[in-house]
Structure 1
């Protein structure tokens, strides 16, 4: 009986132990399940947060891209506004120079006419004195004088000669006086024109400064939208791709021109389009794996850009990243490109000669400093300009 009780007690202890273990196991499993659920909940919340941040970043990128597009459009507008005024100022400068040269020429002519006038006055005075000293003669009496007919004939001839000479001198004097009057009137007109041109130039300078200030604001806004190295590389890639695509289109167009000589025989013989220090050389690193396909020449704003050789203008417009650009076809697959100009002086279809002014140095396309971007391409492939220019 005691043994049975002991066994019963032992069994009861074991049962209680098993129940306790089972409860503990169930409790642990419940806790584990609860912890797993909590982890899942936290992961879900984190994923939602990440997705929200990604959505925000995408939205921000879209907004930045939109803003940059708007700013680039404004930059293009600013560059064209500056180009219009700069071109007008260039024409005004040329008109001023022509007017000043004409005034100088008129002043020289006036001085010579005054000298001629003095000489003619002296000649006329001498003739009058000569006529006076020879006395007054009655031509009718001389004709009726039969005693010295030979002397009369000589006197008549002499007087006729003097009369003709005097008439010629008088006519020359009258022509000098008339031309002197014309010159003085023309001088007054040119002086008035010069004053008007100077006033126009002042107005144009004010308009230019206003447009430059607007472009500066646009550039400041663009620079605030900072790009990462990767984004900057992508931007340059896109700009270069746009340029190549445009040049390929122009190359197809230039293939129609058969009468242009090309640049094959002109290596080391051409002049640079503008004098200045080479800031970036052909083939040097630009950004990432990108290399310079041309050269960037430092030059002062307003300096004239000249064509390296004769050819025909294929392109005269604005390109993103390159500003105001002129492209000239030289024949045989050769083209030259001139970028970042302040103003373009030639239109598509114009023919140009070596050394002829085609543009004005500037900093269009978003450049912080003035200069000229210059390329030479052969069958669409960029070649080193140093092989042609000296």
Structure 2
């Protein structure tokens, strides 16, 4: 209980920290593209579209897990039902055999007892035998009744889970319809943004502003971090970590981005909805939408090391959550106005971006 209370306090503290960071980001964002109000409105709409998609995608992810759990329960209950039905049949046959035996031998022996009352020793043995047989029958009847009761219970549970499965499938269909509508809305927003053409100079300014926004957020997060668990960083894990998602490398660390700007991470192409896994254990210190990066998760690994996972479809973890190596933290998407699906991934040490290839293999 003390551990749960401590975790809850830690989550509340981290939530308060995130709120401070979000306020700082909001203040900075209000100064970005202030003169281009039309584009600012569209970017705000893009954020709303991304968050709407994230909400439905998270619901679909939860529903899919519930479907798997329900199907597994149905499978277990089906096996149990078959086993109980077979057990019931065996008990019926055994009970019928005992009853037939008792009937045929009972008539004969009782008749003898009536005609040979002088043989007290034989009478006693016969009574003992009947008592033994009667107890055996009672035991079998009780077992049979227990099997019937258990079978009724299992059958009811099986029916309940089948109905639950149908309900989940209907819910999933509604969620997918809603997701499709939200995606259509985002496509229209992106099309409108595309009409607000930017010159190379404006694109460079936008990317610089986005990077500055991220750097400011990370700097503030670093100042607020207070380790709740002992994290050992990534310094001893070079070439030992797995990539957060399986996919084709679309952009490499250090390659040209726009003008003199270079990629500070890598872009990995992967299908929408594929799970994004954390590269190492740590604490989630940011889990929200950020201009230029869409739905973003940042994990603190200790000793000044952080990993960033951007442009997700939805986020599966909240600020303050402790995550283990390989644990799903998000689903691949293209939030933040990206024209292609994929995961943007960075590793940073003391605020500076480092080449992920030095750590991941």
When residues 172 and 231 of structure 1 are mapped into structure 2, their CA distance, relative to the original with a 3 A threshold, is same
Report the 3-state secondary structure (helix = DSSP H, G, I; strand = E; otherwise coil) of the residue aligned with 1:135. Answer: helix
Report the 3-state secondary structure (helix = DSSP H, G, I; strand = E; otherwise coil) of the residue aligned with 2:128. Answer: helix
| Alpha-carbon shift at residue 188 of structure 1 (Å) | 1.7
Deviations 1:61-101 (A, max 9, x none): x8971111111100000000000110111111111111111
Q: Distance in 2 between matches of 1:351 and 1:245?
A: 24
Superposed CA RMSD: 2.1
When residues 189 and 258 of structure 1 are mapped into structure 2, their CA distance, relative to the original with a 3 A threshold, is closer
Deviations 1:206-245 (A, max 9, x none): 1101100110011011111111111111110010011011
When residues 356 and 331 of structure 1 are mapped into structure 2, their CA distance, relative to the original with a 3 A threshold, is same
State the partner residue of 1:40: none
When residues 132 and 279 of structure 1 are mapped into structure 2, their CA distance, relative to the original with a 3 A threshold, is same
Does structure 1 residue 265 correspond to structure 2 residue 233?
no
When residues 150 and 73 of structure 1 are mapped into structure 2, their CA distance, relative to the original with a 3 A threshold, is same
Does structure 1 residue 171 correspond to structure 2 residue 171?
no
State the partner residue of 1:279: 250
State the partner residue of 1:77: 48
When residues 364 and 146 of structure 1 are mapped into structure 2, their CA distance, relative to the original with a 3 A threshold, is same
Structure 2 alignment gaps of length 5 or more: 1-32
The structure whose Rg is larger is 1
Does structure 1 residue 346 correspond to structure 2 residue 317?
yes
| Alpha-carbon shift at residue 106 of structure 1 (Å) | 1.1
Q: Distance in 2 between matches of 1:168 and 1:389?
A: 65
Size of the aligned set, in residue pairs, is 329
State the partner residue of 1:200: 171
When residues 353 and 189 of structure 1 are mapped into structure 2, their CA distance, relative to the original with a 3 A threshold, is same
State the partner residue of 2:349: 378
Q: Distance in 1 between matches of 2:52 and 2:72?
A: 30
1:258–1:331 CA contact under 8 A, matched in 2: no
State the partner residue of 1:91: 62
State the partner residue of 1:368: 339
Deviations 1:112-161 (A, max 9, x none): 11110111111111111221221237889959977434433332332222
Does structure 1 residue 248 correspond to structure 2 residue 219?
yes
- Equivalent residue runs for 1:1-390 within 5 Å: 65-136=36-107, 147-257=118-228, 259-390=230-361
Structure 1 alignment gaps of length 5 or more: 1-61
Q: Distance in 2 between matches of 1:332 and 1:63?
A: 38
Larger RCO: 1 or 2 (CA < 8 Å, sep 6+): 2
1:143–1:152 CA contact under 8 A, matched in 2: no
2:298–2:307 CA contact under 8 A, matched in 1: yes
1:377–1:383 CA contact under 8 A, matched in 2: yes
Report the 3-state secondary structure (helix = DSSP H, G, I; strand = E; otherwise coil) of the residue aligned with 1:163. Answer: helix
2:34–2:40 CA contact under 8 A, matched in 1: no
When residues 267 and 157 of structure 1 are mapped into structure 2, their CA distance, relative to the original with a 3 A threshold, is farther
When residues 139 and 327 of structure 1 are mapped into structure 2, their CA distance, relative to the original with a 3 A threshold, is farther
State the partner residue of 1:15: none
Report the 3-state secondary structure (helix = DSSP H, G, I; strand = E; otherwise coil) of the residue aligned with 1:82. Answer: helix
1:254–1:331 CA contact under 8 A, matched in 2: no
Report the 3-state secondary structure (helix = DSSP H, G, I; strand = E; otherwise coil) of the residue aligned with 2:106. Answer: coil
Report the 3-state secondary structure (helix = DSSP H, G, I; strand = E; otherwise coil) of the residue aligned with 1:349. Answer: coil
Q: Distance in 1 between matches of 2:294 and 2:286?
A: 12
TM-score scaled by structure 2? 0.86
Q: Distance in 1 between matches of 2:229 and 2:139?
A: 62
Deviations 1:279-333 (A, max 9, x none): 1111111111111111111010111111111111100000011000011111111
Q: Distance in 1 between matches of 2:219 and 2:336?
A: 21
Q: Distance in 1 between matches of 2:115 and 2:277?
A: 82
